Structure 1
Amino acid sequence: MRKLSIAELEPHHRGPQFTSPLPGHVVEKGGFRIYPEPNFRTHDEPGRHVHTVPELFVIVQGSGAIEIEGAEVDKFTAGEAVLFEPGEDHHLISRGTDPLVFVWLHLAPEPAE
């Protein structure tokens, strides 16, 4: 897991590529989520929640805890991006009074040209 400040990412204009957070990767799929209830835990289905590709969360509003492999390891707040590695069991837990709003993106290696 890596936590990044959105303000510190390098500017770029190369389409869907993520040249700052994860060079050589493109967006495979993604979405936008709003969770108004406090203590919401993402991916709250039974069992581990993992992917075969990196997953990036861009926090638009709210704050909370980052959970990896069942343990709270860090905190997040609006204006940060959290990057989970393939195979990491991961969750975000809303701990603030504001609704949790984020963009999630699955990243894939950039196809060879």
Structure 2
Amino acid sequence: MRKLSLADLRAHHRGPRFTSVLPGHVVRNGGFRVYAEPGLRTHDEPGRHVHTVPEVFVIVQGSGAIEIEGAEAGRFQAGDVVVFEPGEDHHLISQGADPLIFTWMHLEPVS
């Protein structure tokens, strides 16, 4: 897991390529989510939640905890960009007074 800020994306971001996040990767798919209540945990299905590609979360509003492999691994707040590596069991847990709002993207290597 790596944590950046939105400011880190501005210097090198060009189109769908996230050259400042993961060189040589493009956005494959993504979405937008709102978690209205504190305590909600992303990917809350049973078992591990992993991907074969990197996943990037851009936090628009809210704050909370980053969980990796079942343990708290850090905190996030609005303006953070959290990158989960392939194979990491990962979750975000909303813990702030404001609803958690974020975008998510799965990246894939450029062919």
TM-score (norm 1): 0.94
Distance 1:106 1:13 in 2: 16
Give the Å deviation of 1:10.
4.1
Structure 1: stretches of 5+ with no match in the other structure: none
RMSD between superposed Cα atoms in Å? 1.0
Please tell me whether residue 90 in structure 1 is matched to residue 90 in structure 2: yes
Q: Does 1:24 align with 2:39?
A: no
Separation of aligned partners in 1, 2:72 and 2:48: 15
Give the partner amino acid of 1:54.
P
Q: Percent identity, aligned pairs only?
A: 75
- SS in structure 2 opposite 1:9? helix
| Distance in 2 (alpha carbons) for counterparts of 1:54 and 1:20 | 14
Query: Which residue is equivalent to 1:79?
Result: 79
Letter in 1 for 2:70: G
SS of the residue corresponding to residue 39 of structure 1 reads: coil
Q: Deviations over 1:66-92 (max 9, x none)?
A: 000000110000000000000000000
Residue 107 of structure 2 aligns with which residue?
A: 107
* Count of aligned positions: 111
The unaligned stretches of length 5 or more in structure 2 are: none
Q: TM-score scaled to structure 2, two decimals?
A: 0.96
**Matches of 2:102 and 2:8 in 1, distance apart?**
18
Measured in 1, the distance between the counterparts of 2:86 and 2:8 equals 24
